[in-house]
Structure 1
Amino acid sequence: MYKGYLIDLDGTMYNGSELIETARGFVSELERKGIPYVFLTNNATKSQAEAVQKLIAMGVETSPENMYTSAMATAAYISTHHRGASAYVIGTSSLKSMLQDAGLTLSEDEADIVIMGLDPDIDYAKLKRAALLIGKGAGFIATNPDRRFPTEEGIVPGNGALQQVLIETTGVEPVIIGKPNEFILEGAMAQLKLEKHEVALIGDNYDTDIMTGINGGIDTIHVDTGVSPAEEVLKKDVLPTHTINNLSEWSI
């Protein structure tokens, strides 16, 4: 039915460190049939190579050209719109390195921009520094809006939930780079090299994955393996194109 796929990671391929077994078989079938695909993830904590390595360690055969992350999209956005700027970055060392490569100068004192990605070591001091810089006029960019994401232990706070501290403090809404916004979709589609009508987007999160497809004019496949339960998704005003329990139910 489709010539290619955009595939979410968290809640679609795995939950934390636990692989969703039906997802591995699905990717194996794509590889066997030579069907192009790109993993499209809002996770900005890892580099392209690190994100791919996590899948490979789980037994999923894939390669870096099949990965597009919100960190990559944020770096592309910075390279286009803010090359040469200074930035205070909340996030992992991998995100900071990618943004430096895109042309940013990292700073903790004065900054043109505050960029926020998920930081496992987030604390009050970092949030305070970011709020003060935004209050002084720094721009505010967020890698993604995910309020929560699934792990092997259960649902935990995401970058979007932590962003609310800065939004409530400063009254400033960030520029969001990741799903469901168009900028990350454009980068992934350029990597996939197919037309929108030829592609389906697969994901578990209605607010990010499914809305990316709805906003971007791409068919969607909701899988009931992560954040958004099927019974809630089926009550939405705009439904996914397809809804399945897991990827073993999808024929390619």
Structure 2
Amino acid sequence: MKDESERNSMDGSKNYLIDMDGVIVLGTTLLPGAKNFIQQLQAQKIPYLILTNNSRYTPRDLQVRLSFMGLDVPHEAIFTSALATAQFLHMQRPGGRAYVIGEAGLTTALHDTGYVLIDQEPEYVVLGETNTYSFERITRAIRFVNAGARFIATNPDVASPGEGGIVPGTGAVAALITAATGVKPYSIGKPNPLMMRTALHSLHVHSGDSVMIGDRMDTDIIAGIESGMRTILVLTGVTTREQAERFPYRPTWVREALADVEV
């Protein structure tokens, strides 16, 4: 049970950004309380977005995947690092040219902002997740970066869970390109607070009224703090309570699961 002062301290939470993996789902299973929490937000018309650093899937793809698990959300309520990347590039250089290594989530987001995906003289090399990293395409990316193309990564994650175990993430492949070129990418996804601010902007809400809920201190919580939000660490994913104590920054609240977060 929360005491009265803690209950009141959460009353200013008018909007929610919620990490997907480790908070709402684990693999192909909904986590405890996730469905009820989202339904409460929907019933009370509280603005929210479900966030993922994974750029592989479109929001509609993820909407269908969640529906198979029993959670119904509109695709507009899902915000990916691919969307954040596309919006960043659109603000920086509208209608630009990009050489892309990634899948439909990333290419669709870029097309929707008016970007041209090209294999000659790109202004940007944009790297995201894919199940089929091609050495040929990585080599071309290296040559484009060496020739002056700006290097963007959708997120800095070096590994992610896959069938049979860990698979290389965007950050690992970005490190390969960096080793060959000496150029580090600008990574858009968490822990870059840019992704959080872009998400808040899309909701038309202010960080001071918003809460970030995540399972990782080194991505979700730090990004929330640096964006000016209050934060909730749930212990259903990566970070344990003991590990959280070792960080120099702290979440506003710690909960065992989303089931223990009151709207």
- With normalisation by structure 1, the TM-score equals 0.91
How many residues of Structure 1 are paired with residues of Structure 2 in the alignment?
252
Residue aligning to 1:129 = 140
Structure 1 residue 209 displacement after superposition? 0.9
Q: 1:77 aligns with which of 88, 91, 95?
A: 88
Q: 22-31 vs 170-179, which deviates more?
A: 22-31
CA offsets 1:197-244 (integer angstroms, 9 cap, x no match):
221101112222111111111111111222333322221011111122
Q: Secondary structure at the match of 2:36?
A: helix
Q: 196-205 vs 32-41, which deviates more?
A: 32-41
Structure 1 residues 1-252: aligned runs within 5 Å: 1=10, 2-150=13-161, 155-252=166-263
For 2:203 and 2:95, how far apart are their aligned partners in 1? 29
Structure 1 residue 106 displacement after superposition? 1.6
For 2:92 and 2:62, how far apart are their aligned partners in 1? 25
Structure 1: runs of 5+ lacking an equivalent: none
Structure 1 residue 108 displacement after superposition? 2.4
CA offsets 1:133-164 (integer angstroms, 9 cap, x no match):
11111110111112233468655432222211
For 2:105 and 2:199, how far apart are their aligned partners in 1? 20
Specify the code of the residue in structure 2 equivalent to 1:90.
Answer: I
CA offsets 1:122-143 (integer angstroms, 9 cap, x no match):
1322222211211111110111
Specify the code of the residue in structure 1 equivalent to 2:220.
Answer: D
For 1:125 and 1:16, how far apart are their aligned partners in 2? 31
Specify the code of the residue in structure 2 equivalent to 1:190.
Answer: H
For 2:201 and 2:37, how far apart are their aligned partners in 1? 23
For 1:134 and 1:55, how far apart are their aligned partners in 2? 37
Structure 1 residue 15 displacement after superposition? 2.4
Specify the code of the residue in structure 1 equivalent to 2:98.
Answer: A
Assess if the C-alpha contact under 8 Å between 1:82 and 1:104 holds in 2. Answer: no
Assess if the C-alpha contact under 8 Å between 1:8 and 1:203 holds in 2. Answer: yes
For 1:219 and 1:18, how far apart are their aligned partners in 2? 27
Structure 1 residue 104 displacement after superposition? 2.1
Q: Secondary structure at the match of 2:89?
A: helix
Change (3 A) 1:150 1:221: farther
Specify the code of the residue in structure 1 equivalent to 2:173.
Answer: L
For 1:147 and 1:78, how far apart are their aligned partners in 2? 22
**Superposition RMSD on alpha carbons, in Å?**
2.0
Q: Secondary structure at the match of 2:50?
A: strand
Q: Secondary structure at the match of 2:33?
A: helix
Assess if the C-alpha contact under 8 Å between 1:201 and 1:219 holds in 2. Answer: yes
Q: Flag the structure with larger Rg.
A: 2
